[in-house]
Amino acid sequence: MAFQLATAALAFSAPAMAPSRASSSVVMSAEPMLARRAMLGAAAAAVSMAPLAAFADGASSPAVLAKSRALYGSRVFKLKDASPEAILEEKNAFTLFTTGAYPRTGNAVFLETQKGLKAASKKALAAAKAGDKAGANAAVKEFIAIGKIDGSSADFFDPKQRRNAGAPPTAEIEAQMGTQKFALYEPVKKNY
């Protein structure tokens, strides 16, 4: 974009004027004026020699990995004993967890884990399409085991549970609630 703007500015620049003199004589120089093509070629060469901007966008930073584990891992964790229809509705959560929590960064462990996660999610979705609840749930549990999703509050996210930005983390609230911590996630009263 910047290169196009530079070339457009050079294409429509006014010609260089010789200093005015009292007499109307034409002033000629021994050096010819720089042609527009030569100037554009020099500009293109300068742009191609300049170092490129870094392509790193923070896509595999520890914070992004933790966030994708919490967001998509919790969605998959909720499917442990779900119906085939529910598993099919959440089919994108498998892909988003696989690529978000274990990105293709050249890390051999991540690549092996990602390969196992893809196979387990493929198996779960195929069983869910066939209507096999037991097979789909077994494949989801395999996915959870491969992805090391433990369902703890650190790996859990519930969009229905909204709090202010300065509120304490979920783990602290759960610790204060004791045996009533289910109330954060379930609206049903439990009889003890």
The answer to the question of residue 177 being in a domain is no
Rounded distance, CA 114 to CA 171, Å?
A: 28
Residue 176 has pLDDT above 80, yes or no: yes
The answer to the question of residue 178 being in a domain is no
Q: Are 153 and 171 in contact (CB under 8 A)?
A: yes
Per-residue pLDDT at 151: 73
SS3 category, 82: coil
Residue 17 has pLDDT above 60, yes or no: no
The answer to the question of residue 16 being in a domain is no
Q: Are 105 and 62 in contact (CB under 8 A)?
A: no
The answer to the question of residue 22 being in a domain is no
The answer to the question of residue 67 being in a domain is yes
Q: What CATH number is given to the structural domain containing 80? A: 1.20.120.1740
H/E stretch holding 108: helix 108-130
Which tokens belong to 23?
């007499």
Residue 134 has pLDDT above 80, yes or no: yes
Q: What is the DSSP letter of 183?
A: G
SS3 category, 23: coil
Mean pLDDT of 60-83: 85
The answer to the question of residue 23 being in a domain is no
Mean pLDDT of 157-178: 73
Mean pLDDT of 25-30: 60
Mean pLDDT of 91-97: 92
- Lowest-confidence pick of 44-53, 70-79, 107-116, 139-148: 44-53
Per-residue pLDDT at 160: 58
Closest CA relative to residue 76, chosen from 87, 63, 65, 62: 87
List the domain range (segments joined by +) for residue 146.
62-151
Rounded distance, CA 24 to CA 120, Å?
A: 86
The answer to the question of residue 88 being in a domain is yes
Query: Number of structural domains, the chain?
Result: 1
